[in-house]
Each structure stands twice: as C-alpha cells, then as structure tokens.
Structure 1
Amino acid sequence: MDAKKDLRKSIKKRLSEISLPQYEDQSYRVAQQLFKTDEWIEASTVAVTVSKVPEVDTFQIIRKGWEQGKRMVVPKCEPKPRKLDFRELKRFSELESVYYGLLEPIVSETESVSPDEIDLVVVPGLAFSKDGYRLGFGGGYYDRFLANYQGNTISLAFKDQIIPEVPIESHDIAVEKIITSEGVIIIGD
C-alpha cells in the first residue's frame, strides 16, 4: 500500500511541474487523439469525470461531446457505499464543488443514467502502465464500477503519467486504451 502512496506523491509532484501552456497544449492534443477513436465516434453516451488540474482537461471534451450531440454523463460519488452515480450534464452550471474541490453534478438538477446506457467510460487515473493498469486517486470508486461495466474504457494521460508498471491488486481492472498527446496505446497489442 505504501508503494501506491509513494507513487501517487511522486506523480503529483511531476505533474505539478507542467507549465500552464504545456498543460493546455498537451490536454488539447490528447483530446484531439480521443476524438479520432472509434470508441468516441461510435459512442452516444460518454462518461467522463470533470477534471481538476493536473489531470488532462476534460471541459473541452465535454463541450465537444455536446457539440456532437452526445449525452455526456459525469460521476457523483456516493461515499457510504463508495459507488459512482453517473448523471447527465447539460450545462456546466449543473455542477457544484464538493469535497477536495471536486466538481460533481447537482442531484436535484441532473438525471441518473444507468451503466448499461453508457457506451464509453473515460477512466481517470494518476499513473498508467502500458498494459492498461492504472493508479487511481485512492477511493476505489472506478474499480468497483468497472467490475460490472461491459462497455468501452479509455484513459487520458500526459506522457509523464505513463510508467513501466503500477502496483496491481486482484480487484484492479485494466482499461482498453490509453490516449496520450503522442498517440493511442492499445492494450494487448
């Protein structure tokens, strides 16, 4: 467990050193790579977290989804059962700041969407290995969600987030693709 904690700390430090222009440039390039994937093109409902620096910026991804007529859903964390409730987001004003400054959907203004209606989940993480495993932020919410999810999974990453290996536990689930500013890493290739 300490290995994960230490790795989280070192990746956060590395990401904090990215300048704002580099952050914006790399986020834009990652998004452009995502928009070319079959998973994005064919998806009508896309689940994505609302990013917080230093994660790859997802605001532009949500906007692009709206422009293309996609249903964009974002997670509301339910701390007691430690599960995710994905809710349709139609405007950024339907978000509120919750713990740790995270932006989540306002329950009274958004509708819950069943996991089987979601075509693509953009899975967040701090670090990723080329075999699709990721180091999350430590809550285990996504691992629990992905255990029963049947659709496509993609993660977005800056090149500094790709590392030789991440500590894996039995409940960890690999994503199918990792999108970076340099290109797409297809797991299993």
Structure 2
Amino acid sequence: MNKSLLRSEFLQKRKELSDKEIEDKNEAILKNSKHFFETIGIKTIHIFLPQLGKSEIDTWRIISFLRSFDQLKIISPRVIPGTREMEHYLLTSETILRNNQWKIPEPDPETSLKVLPSDIDAVLIPLLAFDKKGFRVGYGGGYYDRFLAQCKPTALKIGVSFFEPVEEISDLDAYDVPMDFCITPSSILNFTNTDSAPI
C-alpha cells in the first residue's frame, strides 16, 4: 500500500480508538519503553511532544520516566516558522512551552538552550504507520526525514506506534530513512537485523 492510503487509513484507525484503548496502549508502550531504554546507553535523546487533541502517543509518560536518568538530556523540536525545517532545544521541567499553529507544544526559543542534531544520540520518531523493514509513514511534511539526515550516522532512530507493522510501503524514495527500532504496545521491533525480530 502507498503512503497516501496508509496515512488516511491509520489516521482513521487512530480516530476510532476509544479513550480506554488509547490509555491501555499508552501504558503498554510506556512499559516497553522502560524495558528498551534501560538496555541502551545514551546521553541525549530527541523526543517529539504530542499534538493536543489528536490522540497521539503520550510521549510525556516516556519523558517522565527518562527524567529519572540523571545524566540523560532530553531534546524537543521546534518548527522554524515559514519553513519545513526544525531546530532543537533542551527540554527540562523548567522549559517554557508554546503551542505552534498545529497545537504542538514547542520549547520557547528565547529562553531554551539550542542543541545541534550532531549532538543527539537517539531520536524518538512520530509516525502513522510503518512496515516490516522499518520504513515509516509520517504526516507528509518531511520534517523528520530532513532532520534525520542531519543527525550522526550512529544516532538510533526509534519509532513509536499504537499499531503493528504493515507488510510493505510501496512508494519509498531516496529520502526515506529506515528506523532502527519501533516500540508498539505488544513488542519492540528490531530492524538492525534481517528478520526484524522483537527484542
């Protein structure tokens, strides 16, 4: 299936989730995230903040857990107005957040510490759907494809999804960057080997 069809299908699937289903899936993703992040050694992680009112994965739960790691720095993005580029800022409990035009919280650039993509060890990536090879369907703006191309080659690319993978995305192009892992309510998929077995 192509990206456009997958984007429509999974946006609809997410809309149809009940509040109870969303809560259960968020808690299961948090449980798997705890297991995952306790097994990898990173110093900085980039995490998207959920769009208000759109039933996105509640990454605030993951952020709250990761704040228990004393030396770990958490980074969040800000879309540069009028562009399809992002800049990145340290996220702490004292960071001032402002909602952008899509009602996505972003660090205030006037009061937040800017971080370069090259200094980031891992990226938690938003998506709508993904396939068994680790390729993802996002919202269509290309923000993360551009950002990931700026990160160091060793940066871990970690998706999070309410749903399990589809067989294949049919219209990949040269700009599509595969994920290394994807965390779902039922598993942690590893795409760094050939069989994409759960870890």
TM over 0.5: yes
* Matching residue of 1:137: 139
| CA-to-aligned-CA distance 1:7-37 (integer Å, 9 cap, x gap) | 2122111111111121111112112212222
- Taking structure 2 as the reference length, what is the TM-score of the superposition? 0.86
Conserved 8 A contact 2:43-2:73 = yes
| CA-to-aligned-CA distance 1:80-133 (integer Å, 9 cap, x gap) | 442221101112762111112111111112111111221110111111111110
Q: How large is the RMSD of aligned CA atoms in angstroms?
A: 2.0
Q: Distance in 1 between matches of 2:47 and 2:80?
A: 16
Conserved 8 A contact 1:35-1:41 = no
| Number of equivalenced pairs | 187
* Amino acid aligned to 1:147: A
Distance apart, 1:41 and its partner CA: 3.8
* Amino acid aligned to 1:64: F
- Which of the residues 161, 164, 167 maps onto 1:164? 167
Runs of 4 or more above 6 Å deviation: none
- Residues 1:16 and 2:18 are matched in the alignment: no
Q: Identity over the aligned pairs, expressed in percent? A: 28
Q: From the two aligned structures, give the one with the greater helix fraction.
A: 1
Conserved 8 A contact 1:34-1:40 = no
Conserved 8 A contact 1:75-1:105 = yes
Report which stretch shifted further, 107-116 or 32-41: 32-41
Q: Distance in 2 between matches of 1:59 and 1:186?
A: 23
Distance apart, 1:40 and its partner CA: 6.4
Conserved 8 A contact 2:118-2:150 = no
Conserved 8 A contact 1:39-1:152 = no
Q: Distance in 1 between matches of 2:40 and 2:96?
A: 25
Q: Distance in 2 between matches of 1:146 and 1:39?
A: 23
* Matching residue of 1:62: 63
- Mind listing any 5+ residue stretches in structure 1 that lack a counterpart? none
- Taking structure 1 as the reference length, what is the TM-score of the superposition? 0.90
Distance apart, 1:162 and its partner CA: 2.3
Partner of 2:86, secondary structure, is strand
Q: Distance in 2 between matches of 1:124 and 1:38?
A: 17
